[in-house]
Amino acid sequence: MKAMKTIRLLRNLLVTICGLSPILLVAQVDSVKEKRESFLYLRYYVINNQIPYLNVQTKNKVGKEFHLQPGVPVSIYLNKDSDAASLIGKVVTNEKGVAVIGLPATLAAVWKEKSSPTFFARTDSSSNFDAKSEEVSMNKSKLELDTVNDGGVRSVKARLLQYENGSLVPMSEVDIRLSIKRSGGNLNIGEDETYATDSTGTVQGEFSRKDLPGDTLGNLELVALVDDNDVVGTVETHLKVPWGVPAKYVNDFDRRTLYATGNKAPLFLMVIAYGTIAGVWTVIFYLIYNIVQIRKMGTK
């Protein structure tokens, strides 16, 4: 009797656990959803001292992992948050969770009013992203780039200034990277990664790269970069200089090369290929001939 009661008790307990499992599963899924945290990033860029543009990025944090979140609509405003007249535009992040937007001509007058404009980014709550807002205030700036030739030694010189009360003021103790634009990324002009500006907002570095290939005229593109500064954002200026080696284009059309069509392949490669094929078929025909001769000898 005691064994029967124990069996019934275990059976009832098993039925209870099986009945509660869907509830526990739903509760677990809800707990995972509650752990999601959304992040909205807003960055300020200026290229060649022109009109700036903004970079928007959206991410979700689930547990300890960050995930790029695409398809998030974001509204961007200038100086006044959620004001229709100050709306720069609306963007939707791409598959990498990134969107880029520039200032429209309708806000040119508003842009000129302040030396330190403020940008607001706002997104509403959705199934894949939480409601978030972000703002960034940056000083207008100017990044100058020039070259110096002192006794045959080539150097690159950059100067960073910011607007204060309508005038340009040098910025000191700001790291500037001096580099050369290449197809795979930027190459430093020397051994130093960055240079800190002095009291006049100036940095200077020696150009130690030799015999770098340039364009057909030998031009190289110098780049001065202030990366994600707290005051002026990301500022970048380019300058072309004739310090490279002119690129010589070699036309291999209608010549025998490894990458040409079959009839223009190198002769040694064609001899090896066709010789291998001829050798294999010669062995096959020789074996067939021997088999035929053996059959004839067997019939006699």
User: Which tens digit of pLDDT belongs to each residue from 189-224?
Assistant: 999 999 999 999 999 999 999 889 999 899 999 999
Decide which of 137, 158, 179 is a domain's last residue. 137
User: Which tens digit of pLDDT belongs to each residue from 267-297?
Assistant: 888 889 999 999 999 999 999 999 998 988 8
Residue 76 has pLDDT above 60, yes or no: yes
Domain membership of residue 71 (yes or no) is yes
Q: How far is CA 88 from the centre of its chain?
A: 24
The domain containing residue 284 runs over which residues? Answer: 262-299
- Measure Cα distances from 150 to 135, 177, 222, 263 in Å: 45, 21, 18, 56
User: Which tens digit of pLDDT belongs to each residue from 127-160?
Assistant: 899 999 999 999 999 999 999 998 889 999 999 9
Same domain, 85 and 175: no
Q: What is the pLDDT of residue 150?
A: 86
Please count the structural domains in the chain.
3
Specify the pTM. 0.70
Q: What is the pLDDT of residue 3?
A: 54
Confidence of residue 300 (pLDDT cuts 50, 70, 90): confident
Same domain, 145 and 118: no
Decide which of 113, 137, 161 is a domain's last residue. 137
